Amino acid sequence: MPPKGYRNLSIRDEVYKKLEDIMIDLKLSSINDVIAHLIRTYEDYTNALVEILERMDKLIPMIDDLRRKLSKS
């Protein structure tokens, strides 16, 4: 049984090897650190994407309005 606050995780050998490669590339000290890094990166990416999409939603009506004004000229 793992220590309190930890879980065992089974993954395929090729997935583990890729995690090890990432660990070496990023100079991290454990596979746990790699997984934590990947989760943070995913969260940062999705948060940035949501922000971009929200800004686009605000820009689209402005662009449409500008097109209407230009077509009347």
State the pLDDT at residue 14.
98
* Position 43 confidence tier, pLDDT thresholds 50, 70, 90: very high
**Is 73's pLDDT higher than 90?**
no
pLDDT in tens, 6-34: 999 999 999 999 999 999 999 999 999 99
Q: What sign for the dihedral angle of Cα 9, 20, 35, 45?
A: negative
**Is 63's pLDDT higher than 90?**
yes
The span from the CA of 29 to the CA of 27, in Å, is 7
